[in-house]
Amino acid sequence: MSFPELLRQCRKQKHMSQAELASLLGVTQQAVGKWESGKSSPDPATVAKLAEILDTTADYLLGLFDPASEGQTEERFFGSYVYSLIPVIGTVKAGYGALAFEEDYGQEYARVKDPSNYFYLVVRGDSMEPRIQDGDLALVHKQDTLENGDLGVLIYGDEGEGTLKRYIQRGNCVVLQPFNPAYSEMVIKGEDLNHLHIAGRVVETKAKW
């Protein structure tokens, strides 16, 4: 990928607008726009500052890290974290006592400690708008428990399909809460809790272009 594409991708992963990035850098939004469109390029010192703000490296932004040119290398170390290729799936389902990860959409990079314990899920529907849009990618850490208030991928019913919702513990009930006020929250209690499966915790989301 080119510098303009990598810059735009990293900025969106941080949920930052061009104006916000420009303000942190002390430049105009137009300057950032020109960098992302390839009409101009920042100087090396600015690239280094961009990398610091976007929690990456100058080499990565400049496209000097290219797994394809390094044989089959799929990781780059940053302390205890690595940039790794994480599988992108379309659906998560419960059935036959285990979770099934269906619909292979390829792979995307993520900076995580234990890449084998993560997957990307393509968000479907508008129940989490305006914060999370249809088609966004949610990075999910595989785990079967959630803390109160976590954003998780949950499956209700033995053969249900995974849904991305906020997990709320309310007394003896569990509430699956959407962000979109047009949707009602789901309250699960009693024996029905035995049919609620947790696929993982959402650690970040990003727009997919």
List active site positions: 127, 165
- Locate 93 and state its tokens: 């389902």
What distance in Å separates the CA atoms of residue 152 and residue 16, rounded to the nearest whole number? 22
Beta strand pairing call for 186-189 and 173-177: antiparallel
E-assigned strand segments in the chain: 75-78, 81-95, 98-112, 118-122, 137-142, 151-156, 163-170, 173-177, 186-189, 196-206
For residue 63, the number of C-alpha atoms closer than 13 Å in the C-beta half-sphere is 10
Give the contacts of 167 (CB within 8 A, at least 6 positions apart). Answer: 146, 147, 148, 149, 150, 151, 152, 154, 174, 175, 176, 177, 198
